[in-house]
Structure 1
Amino acid sequence: MAKDSDIKVFTRRSLHELSKNNKQLKDIIKDFKAYKEGYKVKSFGRDAPFHRPKPAAELAELMHVHLMNHPKSKILTAAKITDPYYLTSDSFLIYSKGFFNPKYYYIIDYLEKEAHSKVEDMDYMRWLIKQAESFRKTK
């Protein structure tokens, strides 16, 4: 399989700053780029869109990938499952991709724990959508 070297990953400024002192987050961001380039990254599980609030989350292409090897994450699936769709946790990396260039990705947030509860907050979801829309207007 040919790997895609045109992939670019951007991070929200505060996450970028946090990653300077947080090796784990820095590694997750690096792994995310490799994952989007086509490499298998064992620490990532289900990668899925958000559907709520409709239609804004879908139009903003707001996505999340479950983080499987995060020490603070509660793993929600059995260990023997290998299909990424069934690999879920309570830790997410939330992102969107470029509108003009779908090889550009924007990491908006990193939820270490209780991610499912956090995304039930519609004010938080609207904030994520606003971040994604702002990125997609330029990329």
Structure 2
Amino acid sequence: MTDNTTRLDHIVLWVDDPLAAAGFYEKTVGLEPVRLTEYSAGEAPFPSVRVNEETILDLMPRAKAERMGMVPGAAESSGHPVNHVCLSLAASDFDALRSRLEEGSVPVSDVSRDSFGARGSARRSFYFRDPDGNVFEARHYD
């Protein structure tokens, strides 16, 4: 890829309770909720959380899996999360996230060093799971 016109727009995560998931991502991970009020009012099919100005995580209710007929096999993906999603943070945000996770009794992996990613070798990284079993990696490059 030689130009920078391709961006990651969103990732859809299957969750049991979108409001609880949004709460976890807001309070523990530090991501801003999007369309939470609209979802609660029945005006949006799912809420999201903002990763950055260009990327969100959609929190799709697992109960909607049976209606995922637009792609063959999509309904069967419910309950089978991707291997993991990686969040790249500044070093101070990395440390703050790890502290919030530990304070919230969310299990975290040991810290790894110099793991490869989109921007080269990350200084530190660790893994954690959200309440629905989706696995995340947190890392920083600086």
- More helix as a share of residues: 1
TM-score (norm 1): 0.31
Structure with bigger gyration radius: 2
